[in-house]
Amino acid sequence: MVAARQVPFIDLAAQYRSLQPRMDEAVREVLEGGWYILGERGERLEGAIAGSCGALHGIGVNSGTDALQLALLACGVACGDVVITVPNTAVPTVCAIAATGAEVAFVDIEPETFTLDPRCLADYLERAERPERVKAVVPVHLYGQAAAMEPILQLAGTHGLRVVEDVAQAQGAAYRGQPVGSFGDTGCLSFYPTKTLGAYGDGGMVVTSDGQIAETLRRLRNYGEAEKNRNVMLGFNSRLDELQAAILSVKLDHLESWNNRRRELALLYDRLLADSSVETPREADGNRHVYHLYVVRSSRRDDLRRHLSHAGIQTAVHYPTPIHHQEAYKSLGYPRDAFPESVRATREVLSLPLYPELSEDAVHYVCETLRNFR
């Protein structure tokens, strides 16, 4: 039986409709202009996004995954090194690390924020058998909230680690008033369509204030070229095209107001779900959470999900499997019960619908349905 009311998890076409005349014009201009890759639209967008992230340089690439991989390479990570991240992230964080030839090491998360627990990082670094191999840490600003950057940067400084921030889910978020992406050696953004700033296809960007890293990234993304027909390093084909740059430029003007709307809707959820059966997300002191995802916890997550689905409410789980349980990463050799907070999160987290175009009425309906769950 189809429920009388439907609340989709996300509605990307609604956002397109709200921008349609300007968007169609921007796309048409690129098509008529006849220049499609590495052009002035991409350069302008790189400058604008770097500026909004508090960084000096932006380097557009094919995806968030490529942004992470190329950023790690530009920071000097190579085969045989070790790179640390968390096991509750989206799998591409780990794909990108593995693609550099480095070994992935996991540390557990803080249960309140779902982000890297600096105490676990400190513990790992103290016990590392071959500390000279540990080259970088990738804190993931998961769901739209910054990881605890101050203690992470302190540890990275003490142990000589590069810091490559995974900003894929958190463009526009801040930690103690400073935008994410500006803390580490690099910040890595994804423009996957569902992200806070989403393209109409794949796209990504690395932001950095280090001129040397920026130059290496510009070469890496374009076959290792320093200039036309002068190849100075091994390279890739990973460029943000002019169509996506034009699309993203139209959307960038709205990012701040969209993120503010996400925050308002999240507050409404918080209020309507107070004292319900679920634990609502916590914004850590000093953080500006942008709620790429609104993630609650429930000890009966799967039953709750079914209950909401019967009422026409689409939800999602980010993510149901900790990465050390994934077949592709079993060879890392972690026991199943390692990283208990990450494992518990994968059993309990549930993402409710949240996007700027979602109506308040829909949020009321989701919360009322959730409160009727027995």
Ligand X SMILES: Cc1ncc(COP(=O)(O)O)c(C=O)c1O
Q: At what angle do helices 40-52 and 242-273 cross, to 10 degrees?
A: 30
Cis peptide before 319 (omega within 30 of 0): yes
Chain residue whose CB lies nearest ligand X: 64
- In the complex with ligand X, the residue whose CB is nearer, 141 or 162, is 141
31 membership: H or E segment, kind and range: helix 12-33
Rule CB under 6 A: which residues touch ligand X?
A: 63-65, 89-90, 92-93, 140, 166, 168-169, 190, 192, 202, 204
What is the Cα–Cα distance from 360 to 314, expressed in whole angstroms? 16
In angstroms, give the least distance from the CB of 250 to ligand X: 19
- In the complex with ligand X, the residue whose CB is nearer, 82 or 140, is 140
Q: What is the DSSP letter of 280?
A: P
- In the complex with ligand X, the residue whose CB is nearer, 183 or 192, is 192
In angstroms, give the least distance from the CB of 168 to ligand X: 3
In angstroms, give the least distance from the CB of 204 to ligand X: 5
In angstroms, give the least distance from the CB of 307 to ligand X: 27
- In the complex with ligand X, the residue whose CB is nearer, 92 or 353, is 92
In three-state secondary structure terms, 323 is: helix
In angstroms, give the least distance from the CB of 324 to ligand X: 16
In angstroms, give the least distance from the CB of 353 to ligand X: 18
Distances in Å between the alpha carbon of 358 and those of 5, 12, 258, 354, 361?
14, 11, 11, 6, 8
- In the complex with ligand X, the residue whose CB is nearer, 181 or 273, is 181
What is the Cα–Cα distance from 227 to 142, expressed in whole angstroms? 37
164 near 170, Cβ under 8 Å?
no
Q: Which residues pair with 187 in a beta bridge?
A: 165, 207
- In the complex with ligand X, the residue whose CB is nearer, 202 or 242, is 202
